[in-house]
Amino acid sequence: MSFLSKIFGLKEDNTKKEIPKTDNPKNDAVKLVTSQGKNVNELAAEKDARSAVTEEELLQYFVEYFAPNNDFYSEPGSKKFNIYFGAVNAAREEMIKHPDLFKMATKWDISRLKEMLKNPKPGITNMLICGLIFRTGDYGVLKSHVLCVDFCDKIPNCISLYLLLTARKLPADQRRQVIDAGDSSDKTAFKKAMQSLQVLDPEWTFMIV
């Protein structure tokens, strides 16, 4: 069974992020959070200023980040397979559930996504939706010394998939992420989504502070 026939039923910064390794890594991570190289408000403003994502960009996201990870879905019915597609489908539902956030991330009206789902084009629609998931996840992550995450209570699977797929572009020994999910956010669903996806890549580790 191919990826495109299963899914839904129907460029990243590769700079190495230095994570301190001491007797108290969580405290070190907190220090990094408070000494961001660029103000998070500036980073957020840059994303808000982006133009509407194009279909060409969405297809590029698919080709660059989703397609290479065929080991996630090479064994239908396996633990990896079920977890991966469970996360992808949950991410799709998150976009539909939070149309305002989806629009901020993509500059698309939710009606456009619903129309795509209602009248899918074989193969193409599934790739576009994967790209939309990636773009939505990207909107929720601000990259500096650490990864600052917003909206993790609303789009936990979009963000978790984004973090996993971008980490997979790095060498195995550089896939450790320090994530600031904020003090006021309910991190329960986000932590669950992140921990669930760990089975897809044992080299991918993270610390949520």
Residue 33 pLDDT more than 50? Answer: no
Give the per-residue pLDDT at 185.
83
The domain in which residue 35 lies consists of 20-208
SS (H, E, C) the chain: CCHHHHCCCCCCCCCCCCCCCCCCHHHHHHHHHCCCCCCHHHHHHHHHCCCCCCHHHHHHHHHHHHCCCHHHCCCCCCHHHHHHHHHHHHHHHHHHHCHHHHHHHHCCCHHHHHHHHHCCCCCHHHHHHHHHHHHHHHHCEEECCCEEECCCCCCHHHHHHHHHHHHCCCCHHHCEEEEECCCCCCCHHHHHHHHHHHHHCCCCEEEEC
Structural domain contains residue 3? no
Structural domain contains residue 12? no
- pLDDT, tens only, 42-90: 878 889 999 999 999 999 999 999 999 999 999 999 999 999 999 999 9
Structural domain contains residue 93? yes
Structural domain contains residue 72? yes
Name the range with the highest mean pLDDT among 11-25, 55-69, 145-159.
Answer: 55-69
Give the per-residue pLDDT at 27.
52
- pLDDT, tens only, 166-193: 999 999 999 999 999 988 889 999 999 9
Structural domain contains residue 123? yes
- Total of domains in the chain: 1
Structural domain contains residue 11? no
In the predicted model, what is the mean pLDDT of residues 10-24? 43
In the predicted model, what is the mean pLDDT of residues 2-30? 45
Give the per-residue pLDDT at 209.
83
Structural domain contains residue 6? no
Structural domain contains residue 14? no
